[in-house]
Structure 1
Amino acid sequence: MNKYVDVLHKIVSPDTYSCDLCNLTHGNFTEKKRWKNYRENSNSEFVFMYKDQFLDTYLDLNIENLTFPAVFKKEGSVIEILFDSKVISSLSSVEDLIDLLQ
């Protein structure tokens, strides 16, 4: 349901859409081609979760004062934050995000 609300929000009121990560990686209906190509050809697996899904899945993660969106890295059972919302909001393009991930 979150996905459909997001699409509607992007179309009806794009100036108030607040997910900077989604704005970098997705258009109104699909992933941006550059991002999709990078993600599909990367050696890493990417999993996108809404904040509520993430918090429900990782109940034991100590993330006090963390603002979303955020990018995490998971190796085995260890999860570490790579970029918080401050870093993500400073990016101006999907290419900036890809450069940061590389």
Structure 2
Amino acid sequence: MALKKLIFVYNANSNTKETLLDSAKKLLSPSTHDCKLCALTYGLTSEKKKWKKFRKASGIAMDFLHKDEYEKQFKSKFAQQYTYPIILIQDHYDLDIFMNAEKLNQIEDLDTLIDEIEKRWGS
């Protein structure tokens, strides 16, 4: 486990039915999509190239979880309930909010998300 990493938690569950519903919402009615983080980092069926390039080049350890996966993985240690999507920062065994749902939902494009992550990670 990395000593310090970001945990991205999508406002979606990991089952196939929800994944298909998510793709349909993106295609047919993007404004009704429930997860801004997903909309920023993923296209219809795969990770956006610019996001993937940033993720690999940044040097920041990152984990990506759906909300059901996060709640299962962290339920014994971190009982706090969050509003999703959210980006958390884990430093050893401490877990704090890196970017909350309110902030994520205000971000309009991928470039702004990347800039915010770089700015906050460096501070």
Q: TM-score range by the shorter chain?
A: 0.7 to 0.9
Counterpart selection for 1:10 from 23, 26, 31: 26
2:86 touches 2:101 (CA, 8 Å); kept in 1? yes
Could you tell me how far apart the structure 1 residues matched to 2:108 and 2:90 are?
25
Shift of 1:8: 3.6
Shift of 1:5: 3.9
Equivalent position amino acid for 1:39 in 2: R
Residues 53-85 of structure 1 deviation map (CA, whole Å, 9 limit, x = unaligned):
101111131424x31000011122221111111
- Name the structure 2 match of 1:76: 92
User: Does the C-alpha gap of structure 1 residues 47 and 5 become closer, same or farther in structure 2, counting only changes over 3 Å?
Assistant: farther
Structure 1: gaps (5+ residues)? none
Counterpart selection for 2:80 from 54, 63, 70: 63
- Name the structure 2 match of 1:41: 57
Structure 2: gaps (5+ residues)? 1-15, 119-123
Shift of 1:52: 1.1
Could you tell me how far apart the structure 1 residues matched to 2:42 and 2:57 are?
17
Is 2:117 the counterpart of 1:88?
no
Could you tell me how far apart the structure 2 residues matched to 1:4 and 1:74 are?
30
2:25 touches 2:33 (CA, 8 Å); kept in 1? yes
Equivalent position amino acid for 1:42 in 2: S
Could you tell me how far apart the structure 2 residues matched to 1:87 and 1:15 are?
17
- Normalising by structure 1, report the TM-score: 0.86
Equivalent position amino acid for 2:101 in 1: S
Is 2:61 the counterpart of 1:24?
no
Percent of residue pairs identical:
27
